[in-house]
Structure 1
Amino acid sequence: MDILSPVLGQLARRAGAALRHPLLAPLVNEHVVDFYARHLHPQLSMRQVIARVTARQAASADAVTLHLVPNYLWRGFRAGQHVTLTVEIDGVRHHRVYSLSAANADDVQITVKRQPGGLVSNYLLDQVYDGDYLQISPAFGDFVLPEPAPQKLLLIGAGSGMTPLLALAEALLQMPDYTGQVLVLNYGRSHEETLFHSRLLRLKTLHPNLRVVYGLTAEGVSEGELSGRFCARHLDELLADAAEWQVMACGPQGLVDSVKALWAERAYPLAPLTESFTPLAVPQATAEQQPVALTFRLAGRAVTGNNQQPLLQQAEAAGLQPASGCRMG
């Protein structure tokens, strides 16, 4: 089935607004409306952003970029933001957060890197193709370019952390009359596993003020590349004036912590802007287990929980499926 036409999308948007009118809203079950609307077109919905997959493109040996065309409920995005993607696998809905990996407002992309044993990442790489439909949330997040635009921007990423950084680099370099410098440090285990080789090469060709350096942690390096994980030596080899650069880092928690620690140790004036895709570890509970009254207002459920387990686990144990971005893979 084709992408929902703009005319039908406008009609659906107006119909949805009318059904959400205070006089009608109490009488309307949005889930029921969406159920029947999907039989007319998969992208018809009162409340959900449904995107059609229009292309797949290899981003590395174990990653793929999905090009998406969302429906009329999509409100756009800023480079660096992300979406929550929802898929149904064997009758169970799963939620994962993915950064948008391009700056062009007309080209909505997510890049998915295969995670060993990862349920959703493997599903997206192996079973989602052109013409399929995916549910995504509105774009959110504040990992965006600072204002005013930095004249010296250092982007440090590893693995999936490169997805928002590529979008940020594109957004900055495409600004009219931008003449500043952008340096991208792209870390990975090997050349095959680092993301966006071809796109970064193309971006360098278009913008001579972009420099890209690769750091490899599990194989030998060539001239101009870095060996091992990010460290002070890498920074000193590349930049004599690092204190003047705005740094943005994204990737595993260890990478982000290393960047923050180095900037703090050297008291650089521009604080790092960072984001990590690694969920924070839940501290081991030390207090005695106590019952806690949990009320899930939207679901109309009240249960007895405890002060030991994460709230998401307790909600799922109660038979609920709340949207979340706490899991990876």
Structure 2
Amino acid sequence: MTTLSKSNTWLNQLSSTVFDRSATDFWLQQINPLWSSSEARGQIIARHQIAQDMYQLKIKCNRRMDFGEAGQHHPVFVEINGIRYERSYSLTQLDRQHIALNVKHVHGGLVSGWLCEKANIGDYLSFGKPYGEVSLDHFQSKRLVLLVAGSGITPAFSVLHALEKQNRLEDYQIHLKYWASTQREHAFILPFKQWQERYASFNVDFYSTQAQSNTDNNDTTSQRLNATHVQSIQDVHDCAVFACGPSGFVETAQSLCTDARQFQGESFYFSTPSITDSDSSEIELINIHLSRSNKQLQIPKGQSILTALEARNIRPQHGCRMGICNKCACPKVSGSTQHIANKQTNHEANQLLRICVNSAQSDITLAL
């Protein structure tokens, strides 16, 4: 412990005596690629598939890592073909030096595809500061209902894993309801079933929305989230409900859980791919004015503004691309936009706009 503390102190002293932190980090990483004067870095030491479309990467982190609270999200930075990309993921802390990064392989996703298939053991990632309000401190009851769909399972698993590691899982009455398209897409089945056998206070139900039922239409194992699932929860009025998944799933959960003691939702949306030149004749184009850079261009109506701008080689600041982190938010000076997932429109001027999950519906001006 003394040796590690001395090493950390030496890094701080070195970085404070050199004006250019980038130069400092360059020389430090010639000695050890994990070292940095200011940046949280990690090295991939293992990877395995945990579901049909999800992989788990075990990562060794340096001493700059801020693990945050279980259930929060971290900006994750990767370099692919010399270009640095940022995405957001919910991490699971395994011990004082290692985390698990659970990644859903999104069809056509550049970063998720790289992490799941192309990254090598020994490759390095960087991490930003954690954010988000999903943590045990925000739940107002020890009776927890977790409604999750798809990759929404990752923050829920992070919370449950932390409770189990701290020997506190049995202190909560927990009912996890977990939806995926098919049974093969459910992750963490083994630990969930082990916890259910070990703790009388933990229950888990798995649902497959595309399963073919051989029984009647009341077979809830193959149904999407509906009132029947909420009615099966005992004393929901005394429960804290956390829902995480696609925006439509979370909106349905909120509408069904009005009697819950507390409801907290976290939804995400994945930006659509860029529209190719061959498609351009079939879509309506919208004029967009970027006031700060004094640029005029046209983008497709209905497409994520962020994706459309990137297709024109304009690279606005962004993070998660799912409407969670707000890094892409910029002032909308004028014009009408629509949220791609929930279809809510915004006609007000001088409003902050998350361009990763909104599309242009009329000519617009952005302060970019």
> TM-score, structure 1 length as denominator?
0.79
User: Does residue 1:84 correspond to 2:84, yes or no?
Assistant: no
Tell me the CA shift for residue 118 of structure 1: 1.0
Alpha-carbon displacement from aligned partner over 1:87-121 (angstroms, at most 9, x marks no partner): 11122111111111357555411101111111111
Q: In the alignment, which residue of structure 2 is the partner of 1:131?
A: 122
**In 2, Cα distance between the equivalents of 1:158 and 1:243?**
22
**In 1, Cα distance between the equivalents of 2:251 and 2:32?**
46
3-state SS of paired residue (1:55): strand
Residue 183 (structure 1) aligned to one of 145, 163, 175? 175
**Bigger strand share:** 2
**In 1, Cα distance between the equivalents of 2:34 and 2:60?**
10
Residue 263 (structure 1) aligned to one of 257, 265, 276? 257
Residue 44 (structure 1) aligned to one of 35, 42, 49? 35
Evaluate the alpha carbon distance shift between residue 133 and residue 259 of structure 1 in structure 2; reply closer, same or farther with a 3 A threshold: same
Q: In the alignment, which residue of structure 1 is the partner of 2:245?
A: 251
Tell me the CA shift for residue 157 of structure 1: 0.7
Please, what is the CA RMSD of the aligned residues?
3.5
Residue 166 (structure 1) aligned to one of 139, 142, 157? 157
Evaluate the alpha carbon distance shift between residue 319 and residue 166 of structure 1 in structure 2; reply closer, same or farther with a 3 A threshold: same
**In 2, Cα distance between the equivalents of 1:32 and 1:317?**
32
Alpha-carbon displacement from aligned partner over 1:191-249 (angstroms, at most 9, x marks no partner): 1011211221222233231111011111135998622211111221x224222211111
Q: How many residues matched? A: 303
Q: In the alignment, which residue of structure 1 is the partner of 2:320?
A: 325
Structure number with greater CO (CA < 8 Å, separation at least 6) is 1
The one-letter code sitting in structure 1 at the alignment partner of 2:210 is A
**In 2, Cα distance between the equivalents of 1:133 and 1:157?**
30
**In 1, Cα distance between the equivalents of 2:190 and 2:60?**
23
Identity %, equivalent residues: 24
**In 2, Cα distance between the equivalents of 1:132 and 1:6?**
29
Contact 2:270 2:322 in 1 (8 A): yes
**In 1, Cα distance between the equivalents of 2:104 and 2:237?**
33
The one-letter code sitting in structure 2 at the alignment partner of 1:244 is D
Contact 1:96 1:327 in 2 (8 A): no
> TM-score, structure 2 length as denominator?
0.71
Evaluate the alpha carbon distance shift between residue 273 and residue 306 of structure 1 in structure 2; reply closer, same or farther with a 3 A threshold: farther
The one-letter code sitting in structure 2 at the alignment partner of 1:203 is W
Greater Cα shift, 164-173 or 99-108: 99-108
The one-letter code sitting in structure 2 at the alignment partner of 1:217 is T
The one-letter code sitting in structure 1 at the alignment partner of 2:82 is G
